[in-house]
Amino acid sequence: MDQLALAMTERSDPMSATTPAIEMGAYEYLWLHPPSGSSATSKSILKIFENCPGALPSDFVSESDALRYSQQVFSNLGRTGFEGFGVRVKGISDYPDSLKSAHHQIPLLYFKGCWDLCWKPKRIAVVGTRLPSANGIKRARQLVRKLADNDYTILSGLAKGIDTIAHETALMLGAPTIAVIGTPIDEAYPKENKLLQEKIAQEGLVISQVPFLLHGNRSWRWNRMFFPERNETMSALSDATVIVEAGDTSGTLIQAKAALKQGRKVFILASNFENPAIKWPAALEKKGAIRVVSIESILQVLRHDSKAA
């Protein structure tokens, strides 16, 4: 309750009577009570807001219900000892302008760590397969090292494989890194990345759009939808996405397609085109992705874009 009381004293906007805790409780409520006839999906939740531009979660939920659900969240977290997270609400707080290009503009984000990293210039996502080859691992490390040397913030999804390597390399180099995860902010997936997630929260930033209460009430089969959805958020937060290595069914490709729709650059390491077993590199290149033979090629394109802006 102390944490709730502290959150309730915050005012994200001096002119607003709402608070982060009320907005969080309302957001949690909406997920557990989707529109009549709809299932609890991002599409059904976001449709509520699309029909009412500028609305906040609390505009659709009574204050008593919002407080009740907020208290339930803090009560559950109190039992696990998780604390120190925050929320950002679209429309009333320090919500990233970059997310406005996302097709699904999430009304509320949970975070732990340094939120200012969302506003730091030069942010790039490094993503790829959960089962990288030895060469893929080497390329990922080289890529992150070069990007870090050029003051880029490294984003990834904290999954096994390339994501983990990207985060670990950034931390080792003292470079800022942001993890955009597909579980509630208090959970780690995979479990073996729990310590890594905690370290990123201490030295960088962890972001989630996943509601606590709904996630705890559903099976993993339903909850896995949050993983591809977080890819769209990650691509919108980034200036560009680099694919190190991926298969034809990789979730990485969801991010690449989202990034192209958002007007972001998508870079594909040339080694992917040398693999006859996959078709996605050529397909994405036709849609606007850029084949790169060196890390310097990526930097040259980004420098040109920066000057043009």
Average pLDDT over residues 103-107: 81
- Dump pLDDT digits (tens) for 176-200: 999 999 999 999 999 999 999 999 9
CA–CA separation, 38 and 36 (whole Å): 6
Q: Which alpha helices (DSSP H) does the chain contain, by range?
A: 2-9, 20-32, 42-50, 63-80, 134-149, 162-173, 194-203, 212-217, 220-223, 226-237, 252-261, 280-286, 295-308
Report the DSSP beta bridge partners of residue 123.
Answer: 153
40-10-231 Cα angle (round to 5): 35
Q: Does 105 or 116 have the greater pLDDT score?
A: 116
Q: Are 235 and 259 in contact (CB under 8 A)?
A: yes
Q: In the prediction, which pLDDT does 10 show?
A: 38
- Using one digit for the tens of pLDDT, what is the confidence trace for 193-229? 999 999 999 999 999 999 999 999 888 888 898 999 9
Q: Look up residue 130 and give its DSSP letter.
A: S
154-169: b (≥16 Cβ within 10 Å) or e: bbbbbbebbbbbbbbb
CB count within 10 Å of CB 28 equals 24
Q: Which DSSP letter does residue 58 get?
A: G
Residue 9 pLDDT greater than 70, yes or no: no
**pLDDT-based confidence at residue 54 (cuts at 50, 70, 90):** confident
What does DSSP assign to residue 125?
A: E
User: Can you read off the two tokens belonging to residue 74?
Assistant: 């803090």
**β partners of residue 124:** 154, 240
What is the Cα gyration radius of the chain?
19
pTM confidence score: 0.92
- Evaluate whether 117 touches 176 at the Cβ level (below 8 Å): yes
Q: Comparing 15-24, 211-220, 229-238, 292-301, which segment has the lowest mean pLDDT?
A: 15-24
Structure tokens at 98: 């970059």
Neighbour tally for 85: CB within 10 Å: 19
Check residue 295 and give its pLDDT: 92
Given a contact cutoff of 8 angstroms between Cβ atoms, the answer to whether 166 and 157 are in contact is no
The CATH code belonging to domain 116-308 is 3.40.50.450
The angle subtended at Cα 204 by Cα 200 and Cα 206, nearest 5°, is 65
Q: What pLDDT was estimated at residue 270?
A: 96
Say what angle helices 226-237 and 252-261 make with each other, to 10 degrees: 40
- What residue segments make up the domains of the chain, in order of their start? 2-95, 116-308
The token pair that represents 275 in the structure block: 């693999």
Give the tokens for residue 201.
């929260």
Mean pLDDT value across the chain: 90
Rounded Cα–Cα distance for residues 211 and 160 (Å): 23
253 contacts: CB under 8 Å, gap ≥ 6: 246, 280, 284
Pairing mode, if any, of strands 205-208 and 177-181?
parallel
Average pLDDT over residues 53-75: 94
* Side chain identity at residue 124, one-letter code: I
